[in-house]
Amino acid sequence: MELKTEITKDDLVQFRLFEMFRSRHAWWRRLVMAILPPAIGVSASFALIAFTSAKPIQLSTTLLSMLFFIPSYAAAFHWLTKRGVKKQLDDPSAKMETESMLGEFHIMLNPEGLTITQGSQPNFKPWAEVLSVVANGDYGYIYTNAPSVVIIPQRCFPTDGEFRGFVKAAIIFHWNPEPVVTPEPAVDVDMEDSRSEEAFGHSNLISAKPTKGLAMMQQS
């Protein structure tokens, strides 16, 4: 199975966001940061209206209008987080790592491993050395080692079914890797033949000596 990808900065941003929310502790922390502030803001605003308004408050209407603030804040929080990730990728200290993950990649899967080619440099990785294969929405990720990952965007496939089939094959190959067959070193046939002939001639010479001695004894 083969695939050609064109990784952009947006793909890297989605990967970094996935990594941020993949950690259980980071996921809970960001969930609290996304929900708790608007919830506190709505509660404080409702309490302020209740204490300052001279007219009776219609609870359903007031809360419904305030609840629209929560998804707005969550969207703004996601946008700010995404913007922060882009700034991290544009940081001069991360420029080399970012550029190494961008561009065109050729990925080939087989039961023994995967080959990643960037430019003219192929790199083969046996499945036994691959850390994990993860599917997440419109992306698949093959973690070849701790700092490196192969990003598989869904948009690089003609159909969603082909994308899911490719990622599924990578997962199955990783679960059931086949041993890598190492070719045996070539044997020089001419050298082996010459050694065999030499050994054969030497054995005939040894066997001929007793025969000559036996003939001399018979003559005497």
Tens-level pLDDT at each residue, the chain (220 residues): 899 999 999 999 999 888 877 766 655 666 666 666 666 666 666 666 666 766 665 555 556 656 666 677 777 777 787 888 888 888 888 778 888 889 999 999 999 999 999 888 889 999 999 999 999 889 999 998 766 899 999 999 999 999 999 999 999 999 987 776 665 555 554 555 555 555 545 444 444 444 444 344 444 4
Quick check: is 36 in a domain?
yes
CA distances from 54 to 44, 50, 57, 65, 88 (A): 18, 8, 9, 19, 50
How many domains in the chain? 1
- For 59, the domain range is 22-97
State the Cα–Cα distance between residues 215 and 9, nearest whole angstrom. 93
Structure tokens at 185: 């070193």
Burial class (CB in 10 A: 0-12, 13-18, 19+), 214: exposed
Quick check: is 68 in a domain?
yes
Quick check: is 31 in a domain?
yes
pTM over 0.85: no
The C-alpha torsion from 202 through 204 and 205 to 210, rounded to 10°, is 140
Quick check: is 82 in a domain?
yes
Structure tokens at 10: 């947006």
Quick check: is 153 in a domain?
no
Quick check: is 143 in a domain?
no
Quick check: is 55 in a domain?
yes
Terminal-residue alpha carbon distance, the chain: 83
Quick check: is 89 in a domain?
yes
